[in-house]
Chain A
Amino acid sequence: MITLRGLTKRFGTATAVDGLTLDIRPGQVTGFLGPNGAGKSTTMRMVLGLDRPTAGQALVNGRSYRQLRHPLYEVGALLDATGIHPTRSARAHLVAMARSNGIPARRVDEVLDLVGLDGRAAGKPGRALSLGMGQRLGIAGALLGDPPVLLLDEPVNGLDPDGVRWIRRFTRDLADEGRTVLVSSHLMSEMEQTADRVVVLGRGRLIADAPLAELLAGRPSGTVRVRGPEPAGLTALRDRLTAEGATVDLDGTGLSVAGATAARVGDLVYELGVRVHELTPVAASLEEAFLELTADSVEYAAGPTGGEPR
């Protein structure tokens, strides 16, 4: 369980995290979403006692991280893959971590095994590790103390498709074991695959905190796109669909239908004898929900001037 209460972090005049109040519960994967610069990493660093909050509290199982005597037993974290000394071996990196918390050395071999790093990879110096190997090493470090709380910052970064699938299964298993799992990503599609619950940040503020299903259900459950060369026919189709209770947008290129299945739209097209060139079901995605939610809060809005200064 991670508890945030009015958590705030300012760097000079810029507010990175703004009054965040939130509970992250055990037994589920919580997706931590937001555009770059939304405050996800800063929040995680405050939970881990690395950054000092300007105001508010971040607690892990009711205690502040800096009070923990053997933190690796309570919280595991993956922050960035680059945090290893260039001439220190991957194994020595883990052994040092294990020693600091009185974790037996054989646990190092177990976690190496668990993340799929063999003896050869473990003997490599930091500078010889690929991004993917570094990521696996970071996860091995997070698992050393078999902690009930895990924070993974952008864990799929740099992983090949096998690694991505592995991470998804792995976070799922960890949550199913009853752990608290917080996974950050700026990739909405990734969250859709793994998260049970989604927390969305924008400009350091909490935008949404809801089960994934609810966030998706808040949107129309998919639309059907229809294009055709005859405006009259499309208009007739729109009137018919509207009469059946669907919501229809007609624009220059065609129809966008919400509240009717593609099958029903196709049947009506046949019944009315309308010529169509395209009939496509468009699934509602977290991506859409996300874009809608964060539309006003993108830190670096794309534009001719290249965005506003921080």
Chain B
Amino acid sequence: MTVLPTTTAPRSASRPAAAPSTGPFAGAVAAEWTKLRSVRSTWWTVLAAALTMAATSGQLAIYAVNANTDDDPTVNPGVLPVGDIVTGSLELTQYVVLALGLFAITSEYATGTIRTTLRCTPSRTRVLLAKAVVVGGLTFLLGLLLGGIGAAVARPVLGDWGRAPLGGTLADVAASAAYLALVGVLALGLAAALRSPVLTLTVLLALLMIVPLSLQEPGITALTRIADAFPGVAGGHFLAGDTEPYPAAVGLLLLAGWTAGGLALGRWALARRDA
């Protein structure tokens, strides 16, 4: 922030003479970050995500070792890269992380601060994009941290059944961070449209898990193809580096499309509704 010229008038000693040099979008992003970091729930969520990641990746690593050493020869995963454990752990951990996107908007409605926010930044598009930048940035960084935690926990548990090639592990950690950021912002967009945290979480559970799982269950190709278009499944193909049913990059694009759609829905609702 630039230092602005001061006058000697006591009431407005630091009031800039004209409009500030900070653009409204940069200001909105700074404000959103200030709001997110100044509430306790943000840091509890980060802690909960770290613990969930450590527990889940430890458990998945134990499963992998057991599968390799038990009497049943039909399921032997063999020597696993720790990156697989990391990406596999996201299936559960994501529900903790997406709370960051959810609360970034539902808490504003619950406490009435949305009216202050919209008075400070009247452009609904600007408000939502600023929130998306902050939530996306924080969940991406958190994703990197969680990837590190997952790898650090899984590697010693896997022992001889694990390997951690530097390049591959880093790529998996980065992909995990990207996945979590996109899911976090999707949660933000849906929450802006739905306002209620419980309703939003229900819709997210349905989109990420329940509906695609039900579609895949009967094993009918047509239904499985539809399930492949859902955000969680698309993200899963991206994380697994699949080539079927579509390349991993397409999985990433599909997930990003859901996120963009969620934001568009949120913006539409925000612009239309009285605060």
Contact = CB atoms under 8 A, between A and B. Distances in A.
Q: How large is the interface on B (under 10, 10 to 19, 20 to 34, 35 or more residues)?
A: 35 or more
Interface stretch (B10-18, B61-69, B92-100, B218-226): B10-18
A146 B11 contact: yes
Interface stretch (A87-95, A209-217, A286-294): A87-95
Contact of A110 (B13, B20, B39): B13
B70 to A, nearest CB: 48
Contact of A104 (B14, B24, B28): B14
A65 interface: yes
Contacts of B19: 69-70, 73, 102
B216 to A, nearest CB: 41
Nearest to A11: B274
B151 to A, nearest CB: 33
B111 A71 contact: no
A92 B38 contact: yes
Given A50-B119, A100-B30, A88 B39 contact: yes
A84 B31 contact: no
Interface in B100-121: 107, 111-113, 115-121
Given A85-B39, A85-B113, A103-B20, A72 B3 contact: no
Interface in A61-90: 65-73, 75, 77, 79-80, 82-89
A35 interface: no
B111 A146 contact: no
Contacts of A100: 24, 27-28, 30-31, 117, 120-121
Nearest to A66: B122
B34 A99 contact: yes
B122 A83 contact: no
A168 interface: no
B41 interface: yes
Contacts of B35: 85, 88, 92, 96
A178 to B, nearest CB: 13
Contacts of A75: 119
B27 A51 contact: no
Given A50-B275, A96-B38, A102-B27, A110 B113 contact: no
Interface in B234-275: 272, 274-275
Interface in A84-125: 84-89, 92-93, 95-97, 99-107, 110, 114
B1 A104 contact: yes
A132 interface: no
A25 interface: no
A59 B123 CA distance: 16
A84 B39 CA distance: 11
A14 to B, nearest CB: 14
A99 B36 CA distance: 13
Nearest to B124: A66
Contacts of A95: 34, 38
B13 to A, nearest CB: 6
A177 to B, nearest CB: 8
Given A104-B3, A141-B116, A71 B34 contact: no
A72 B120 contact: yes
Which of B15, B23, B40, B123 gathers most chain A CB within 10 Å? B15
B41 A87 contact: yes
A70 B112 contact: no
Which of A45, A71, A79, A102 gathers most chain B CB within 10 Å? A102
B8 interface: no
A231 interface: no
A80 B112 contact: yes
Given A101-B20, A103-B20, A146-B15, A77 B113 contact: no
B112 A83 contact: yes
B214 interface: no
A85 B12 CA distance: 27
A152 to B, nearest CB: 13
13 contacts: A45-B115, A52-B274, A70-B20, A83-B111, A86-B111, A88-B39, A97-B120, A100-B120, A102-B19, A103-B20, A106-B14, A110-B14, A114-B11
Interface of A: 45, 48-52, 65-73, 75, 77, 79-80, 82-89, 92-93, 95-97, 99-107, 110, 114, 126, 141, 145-146
